[in-house]
Structure 1
Amino acid sequence: MTRTSSTTRPARAGVLAVAALALAGCSLIGGSDGAAAPGKGGAAQPAAELTVVTHDSFSLSEDLLAQFEDDNGLDVTFVAPGDAGALVNQLILTKDSPLGDVVYGIDNSFAARAVDAGVLEPYRTDALPVGAERYAVDDAGALTPVDMGDVCVNVDHQWFSDAGVPEPVTLEDLTEPEYKDLLVVTNPATSSPGLAFLLATVGAFGEDGWQQYWEQLRDNGVKVVEGWSDAYYVDFSGSEGAGPRPLVLSYASSPAAEVPEGGGEPRTGALLETCFRQVEYAGVIAGTQNQAAAHKFIDFLLSPEAQGDIPGQMYMYPVDGRTELPEAWAAHAPLAEKPFTVAPEDISAHREDWIATWTETVIG
């Protein structure tokens, strides 16, 4: 879950717009604010500084972040250069003069690029939950998995019920004539969900078939917009009911944000046979002089408290499977049983070519 207007997850749109401004190079609101931390014998010591580089919709509860500062004698500053792609680009461009000490928000579509560029240094945390090792992208441990979720096509149940049209189920269904002009997606060159959906089609149809699939979507009237907010809140009919298209690219967790106040069934659902599994990582930025504090922040992101805060704040699943999830998630935000995947090294090797081919095929 960039997650500015292009990738912000549902139920966070307004909050994260503010958060993006607050995180763009400012100290933690409600944190230590540079106050002295207790030292040995009660003597006050200046708080050490830690700079966290993240995507621009990072969000954890202020009280939780403030407690992390207090517990560790740290003054935390966040720098938010953009989405996962912009994040990695900036880490590479500033390799000789790093933006910060630790990074969060690199996802599996850019993970191998960051590792190959040498902008991270290894850290194997003892805090990694059991089972989370399956999300590892390299043997050295340069990236630590923190959360994950599925990018999927979402459907407006009410629209299809009113129209008397059966809902699509699979990627193939979306190319059928009854769904002409009903789907809106985001551009993979400008949106991380858009890139995830492109990767879903690569995973589903292979190197020899994904381009033909997009030709079929194009001919069936798929609409492409630059960012998630426009797709979800302007073109999609199912959230605020503002748009004409009842199919939109979003997240499997999106319907949980659409549960009516007071309870009941959401108007929307996720098509779980159209999903790509997105994993977000944290890592120590190469060249930091603050390794110990960077390690503490990664451990903090894997703590039960932070893992439990992630669903409500960032609408992603924690990598710790023992975490208690919001009640609505069990019914309305299930993960796909068989999401499409593409190996990180294949993404790194072919991403730019795939995007260029997609652009020529779909945009012209």
Structure 2
Amino acid sequence: MRRRTFVGAVGGSAIAGVAGCLTRDGDGSEDDDGTGDPEPENPDLEGEVQVATYDSMVNGENPAGPWLKDAFEEAYPDAELTWTVPENGINDYIDRSQQNAEIDADVYLGANLDDLVRVDDNLEDGGLLRELNVDRIDNAERIRDGLDMGDPHGRVLAYDTGYVSPVYDEELVDEPETLDDLTEPAYEDALLAQNAQGSDTGQAFLLWTIDAYGEDGYLDYWRELEANGVRILEDWQESYNGAYMNGERSMVISYSTDQVFANEYDYEMSRHQVAFPDGQAYANPEGMGIFEGASELDLAYEFLDFALSNDAQAVIAQRNVQFPAVDEEYVDLDEEFDQYAHTPTEAVTIGYDRLRGNLDGWVDDWAREFAGR
């Protein structure tokens, strides 16, 4: 989940937990024991490690990025952490790789599963980010079961997760019990959604409908939503901080941590109710990985381990309004976070194998009919 500027059981295609060391077979990158990136006896922890991420990780009100930089540099006094924000996210690095241009970043922080699929649909399988030797990342063993992102090439570890779900005003509409309810007259002209071409929440909601109605039925479902007055705006910022917070609609596709934000800013909780149609929400874990050509490999591994430390996980969760990736016993969160951050009974995720070769086509077919409506 991309941080907003203000600060169960896994279903269907979700995947199992982290287990041991992730390796890529048959590409000549492993050492003799079958493990990529063997741990050096004397790691080089001096130099500048460059971490690519999204804008709201480092800019806006109280983002996590500046804290991560300061704390990492305190822990590694001979190192400097520099943030870089690519304009088009992972797509910038896909383009550079296709053009054989230099990639100067060492770490990518903020990769969704669909990013990895796009990498492999446009580059060689397992490209751009390197296979990780998880044995070099001590804190990886604390990642919660179910947060392996399902990359068959072992390139990423989750550092947080969120659940995309409807948020609604209970004084204007009732909680939808099913996705079908959103097509009924009671929700006419109620729903705000986002463009699946460039919005994380928009794409997650689209994938949720594909999981629910199948490749042959999701467009029909969206035609029913359109007939019922769904309004699709460009991104989460425009739909939530703009239209929804201005009272233009009574429901918006957002996150199940929405009440954490509402509580922090003392908003009326009645307008920040979280809905779990069919007991579900769409899980959107974010991962971090190391670029194949990283110049500061040892520091890159240390950063991944650091991002999974107790303090870093708490800061990321609370400042990004996210759920931490590690087991709750390792993270001390505010009581308000525990009270107002909600989880669905079932987390829906479409896995790598099903997304591979299909994602762009699904989004393009949807966009031809509905983008900008």
TM-score tier, shorter chain, comes to: 0.7 to 0.9
- Which structure has the higher relative contact order (CA within 8 Å, separation 6+)? 2
Aligned mates of 2:72, 2:334 — CA distance in 1: 23
Counterpart in the other structure of 1:11: 6
Structure 1 unpaired stretches of 5+ = 13-44, 161-165
1:194 Cα offset (Å)? 0.4
Contact 2:259 2:269 (8 Å CA) reproduced: no
Letter in 2 for 1:256: V
Counterpart in the other structure of 1:168: 176
Counterpart in the other structure of 1:70: 74
Specify the SS of the correspondent of 1:159: coil
Distance 1:117 1:289, change over 3 A: same
1:270 Cα offset (Å)? 1.3
Letter in 1 for 2:90: V
- Number of aligned residues: 315
1:267 matched to 2:271 = yes
1:80 matched to 2:88 = no
- Describe the superposition over 1:131-186 as per-residue Cα deviations: whole angstroms up to 9, x where unpaired: 536332234421111110101111112333xxxxx332321110001111110100
Distance 1:266 1:179, change over 3 A: closer
Q: What's the TM-score once normalised by structure 1's chain length? A: 0.80
Counterpart in the other structure of 2:366: 358
Identity of aligned residues (%): 28
Specify the SS of the correspondent of 1:157: coil
Distance 1:357 1:139, change over 3 A: closer
Structure 2 unpaired stretches of 5+ = 8-43, 58-62
Structure 1, 94-103 or 301-310: larger mean CA deviation: 94-103
- Describe the superposition over 1:220-250 as per-residue Cα deviations: whole angstroms up to 9, x where unpaired: 11000001121112221xxx4x122010011
Counterpart in the other structure of 1:21: none
1:305 Cα offset (Å)? 1.0
Distance 1:186 1:263, change over 3 A: closer
1:297 Cα offset (Å)? 0.6
Specify the SS of the correspondent of 1:188: coil
Distance 1:265 1:245, change over 3 A: closer
Counterpart in the other structure of 1:159: 172
Alignment of 1:240-259 (within 5 A): 240=245, 242-259=246-263
Contact 2:260 2:321 (8 Å CA) reproduced: no
Contact 2:163 2:284 (8 Å CA) reproduced: yes
CA-based RMSD of the aligned residues comes to: 2.4
Counterpart in the other structure of 1:330: 338
Contact 1:185 1:223 (8 Å CA) reproduced: yes
1:221 to 205, 229, 252: 229
Distance 1:282 1:260, change over 3 A: closer
Specify the SS of the correspondent of 2:64: coil
Distance 1:62 1:362, change over 3 A: closer
1:311 to 300, 313, 317: 317
1:285 matched to 2:291 = yes
Alignment of 1:45-194 (within 5 A): 48-58=47-57, 59-60=63-64, 62-72=66-76, 73-82=78-87, 86-95=88-97, 96=100, 97-114=102-119, 116=125, 118-123=127-132, 124=134, 125-132=137-144, 134-136=146-148, 137-160=150-173, 166-194=174-202
Aligned mates of 1:61, 1:100 — CA distance in 2: 16
Distance 1:296 1:266, change over 3 A: farther
Letter in 1 for 2:52: V
1:293 Cα offset (Å)? 0.6
Q: What's the TM-score once normalised by structure 2's chain length? A: 0.78
Specify the SS of the correspondent of 2:142: coil
Letter in 2 for 1:87: G
